[in-house]
């Protein structure tokens, strides 16, 4: 018996959350990928660069999440983590991110649709997160598609 | 040379990025990526959980493979070159898999001194199966 996904979440905005970028976390993220790029890892190279400090790898934006929110969100959808896969991911990046910066993240569900694939019926939940800096300039947009095996 | 500067004038449609080979994937890297990214889904850590979920065992975070592809792009274009980067996770990456990241120039455009290059990017496993497919747009400097 397939589970039912709660489509009423479409349009729903999660409570905004604030992220402060930590220097050690930027470096550990690059190391976890196995990316030795000195612009991510070496403070002296960063200081001498056009950005004046190390910058974060492009996919570091994936760490901009509200930990408390995800289990609640899955419950609200009518599912749990064992059914969830990552379908697609997209970043629009307007400028690099440096340690010490603080950003405001606002996420909302933009679409929920169902499709039947090779492995059976699936629901796709599309979420967008707008990342802005303290001057209210958009820094990045994150688009995340979660796949739920029904 | 690694991290050499690529200029917009030197890029041609059809050019390929230098391939980047990552792996073989080990459990410790998935554990480390979980800590670094904050994605602690047990499906990437706990074999029993992953089997019970019908996935046949643990597999790598999609975002780790996207990170590999990101590395292939920034190695070529520069660490802050990416303006847009989107992927679909086409197949699962398992422990011991090798992931080769590739890319190809699809189009070039210039407007108001901003030089953009559109790329088709993908990653494939050791059997040549695509595990990630996507597109990216990078901004490159001009010689002028």
Look at residue B39 and tell me if it is in a domain: no
Look at residue A110 and tell me if it is in a domain: yes
> Is the predicted pLDDT of residue B138 greater than 70, yes or no?
yes
CATH no. for residue B81? 3.10.129.10
Look at residue A48 and tell me if it is in a domain: no
Asked if A88 and A9 count as a contact pair (C-beta separation under 8 A), the reply is no
Which domain does B64 fall in, by range?
8-25+60-140
Look at residue A119 and tell me if it is in a domain: yes
Token duo for residue B137: 């747009």
Which domain does A87 fall in, by range?
7-22+62-149
Look at residue A124 and tell me if it is in a domain: yes
Token duo for residue A147: 């796949």
Asked if B36 and A34 count as a contact pair (C-beta separation under 8 A), the reply is no
Q: How far apart are CA A51 and CA A132, in angstroms?
A: 18
Look at residue A37 and tell me if it is in a domain: no
What is A58-71 written as a DSSP string? GGGGGG---HHHHH
> Is the predicted pLDDT of residue A73 greater than 90, yes or no?
no
- What's the mean per-residue pLDDT of chain B? 96
> Is the predicted pLDDT of residue B48 greater than 80, yes or no?
yes
Look at residue A125 and tell me if it is in a domain: yes
What is B11-36 written as a DSSP string? --TT-BPPPEEE----HHHHHHHHHH
Q: Determine, for residues B66 and A87 on separate chains, whether the beta-carbon distance falls below 8 Å.
A: no
- Number of domains present in the structure of chain A: 1
Look at residue A78 and tell me if it is in a domain: yes
DSSP for residue A4: P
Instruction: Give residue B61's pLDDT.
Output: 98
Q: Tens of pLDDT along B1-31? A: 467 789 999 999 999 999 999 999 999 999 9
Paired sense of beta strands B20-22 and B99-111, if any:
antiparallel
Q: Provide ipTM, 2 decimals.
A: 0.96
Asked if B75 and B18 count as a contact pair (C-beta separation under 8 A), the reply is yes
Global pTM reads: 0.96
Instruction: Give residue A81's pLDDT.
Output: 87
Q: Tens of pLDDT along A89-98? A: 999 999 999 9
Look at residue B34 and tell me if it is in a domain: no
Instruction: Give residue A89's pLDDT.
Output: 98
Task: Please name the member of A29, A37, A88 whose beta carbon is closest to the beta carbon of B79.
Answer: A37
- Chain B positions contacting chain A at CB under 8 Å are 3, 22, 29, 32-33, 35-39, 41-43, 49, 52-54, 61-64, 66-68, 70-71, 73-75, 79-80, 82-89
Instruction: Give residue B1's pLDDT.
Output: 44
Look at residue B110 and tell me if it is in a domain: yes
Q: Determine, for residues B61 and A86 on separate chains, whether the beta-carbon distance falls below 8 Å.
A: yes
Q: Which of B62, B53, B57, B67 is nearest to B95 (CA)?
A: B57
Q: Determine, for residues B39 and A149 on separate chains, whether the beta-carbon distance falls below 8 Å.
A: no
Q: How far apart are CA A73 and CA A78, in angstroms?
A: 9
Q: Tens of pLDDT along A117-143? A: 888 899 999 999 999 999 999 999 999
Task: Give the chain B residue whose CA is nearest to the CA of A35.
Answer: B71
Q: Tens of pLDDT along A22-64? A: 999 999 999 999 999 999 999 999 999 999 999 999 999 999 9
Look at residue B2 and tell me if it is in a domain: no
Q: How far apart are CA B36 and CA A60, in angstroms?
A: 9
- Number of domains present in the structure of chain B: 1
Look at residue A49 and tell me if it is in a domain: no
Token duo for residue B33: 């990526």
Instruction: Give residue B70's pLDDT.
Output: 98
Taking each helix axis from N to C terminus, what angle separates B62-77 and A23-33, rounded to the nearest 10 degrees? Answer: 100
Task: Please name the member of A33, A39, A62 whose beta carbon is closest to the beta carbon of B79.
Answer: A39
Distance, C-alpha A62 to centroid of its chain: 4
| Span A76-86, average pLDDT | 90
CATH no. for residue A121? 3.10.129.10
């Amino acid at each position: 018996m397939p589970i039912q996904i709660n489509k009423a979440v479409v349009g729903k905005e999660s409570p905004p959350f604030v992220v402060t970028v930590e220097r050690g976390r930027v470096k550990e993220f690059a190391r976890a990928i196995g990316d030795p790029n000195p612009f991510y890892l070496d403070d002296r190279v960063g200081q001498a660069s056009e950005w004046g400090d190390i910058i974060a790898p492009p996919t570091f934006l994936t760490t901009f999440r509200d930990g408390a929110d995800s289990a609640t969100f899955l419950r609200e959808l009518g599912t749990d983590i064992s059914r969830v896969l990552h379908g697609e991911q997209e970043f629009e990046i307007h400028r690099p991110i440096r340690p010490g910066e603080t950003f405001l993240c606002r996420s909302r569900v933009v679409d929920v649709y169902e499709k039947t694939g090779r492995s059976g019926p699936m629901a796709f939940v599309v979420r967008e997160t707008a990342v802005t800096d303290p001057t209210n300039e958009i820094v990045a947009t994150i688009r995340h598609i979660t796949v739920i095996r029904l | 040379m690694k991290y050499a500067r690529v200029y917009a004038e030197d890029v041609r449609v059809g050019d390929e990025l230098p391939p980047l080979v990552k792996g073989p994937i080990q459990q410790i890297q998935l554990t480390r990526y979980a800590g670094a990214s904050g994605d602690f889904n047990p499906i990437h850590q706990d074999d029993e959980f992953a089997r019970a979920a019908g996935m046949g065992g643990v597999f790598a975070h999609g975002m780790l493979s996207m990170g590999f592809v990101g590395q292939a792009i920034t190695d070529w274009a520069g660490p802050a070159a990416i303006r847009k980067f989107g992927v679909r996770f086409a197949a699962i990456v398992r422990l011991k898999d090798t992931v080769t990241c590739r890319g190809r120039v699809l189009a070039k455009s210039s407007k108001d001194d901003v030089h953009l290059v559109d790329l088709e990017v993908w990653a494939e496993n050791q059997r040549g199966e695509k595990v990630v497919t996507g597109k990216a747009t990078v901004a490159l400097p001009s010689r002028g």
